[in-house]
Amino acid sequence: MSADSARSGSRRNPPRASITSQLPHWSDVPSEPPRARPSPNVAAVFCDLVSWAADIAIVLTRDCPEDRDAIERVRRYAHAWLAGEPCPETSIDDVLTTAAALMAGIDRKLGGTTPDEDERQAVGAAVSE
């Protein structure tokens, strides 16, 4: 046993109370926490930003019908939420498709990916034979 570990009066910070003991149990938390809406001016800017990003994602997917539908569902959801209206159904797959298209565009712009002959040129685009 080393001399450091044998010391009873170590210089370490005293143990703190567990953070998890201060959090409510998952069953005590409402399933749908209230979401604060942005001000109308901020919501208008976010709507423009969402539309711009969705338009770019559609271009990056080369108008693939399935990806376009997913991106449009995400656009409608974001616009409805920002307007304080009931949000239409959308899935995490739709959100991931939109994000993947945008991230692929950023990756290409930065030169992070060099396409191979077999690589798809955009998310969701059919692979040419």
Is 125 within 8 Å of 76 (Cβ atoms)?
no
Give the count of alpha carbons within 13 A of 52, CB side only: 6
Residue 107 in this model has a pLDDT that exceeds 60 = yes
CA 85/CA 115 separation, integer angstroms = 42
Q: pLDDT tens digits for 20-57?
A: 556 666 677 667 766 678 899 999 999 999 999 999 99
Give percent helix, percent strand, percent coil of the chain, each to the nearest 5. 55, 0, 45
Q: Is this structure's pTM higher than 0.75?
A: no
CA 116/CA 119 separation, integer angstroms = 5
Where is pLDDT greater, at 113 or 98?
98
Q: pLDDT tens digits for 50-86?
A: 999 999 999 999 889 999 999 999 999 999 999 999 9
Where is pLDDT greater, at 25 or 120?
25
CA 78/CA 90 separation, integer angstroms = 10
Q: Where are the domains of the chain?
A: 38-111
The DSSP result for 41-68, as a single string, is HHHHHHHHHHHHHHHHHHHHTTT-HHHH
**For position 49, what pLDDT does the model report?**
96
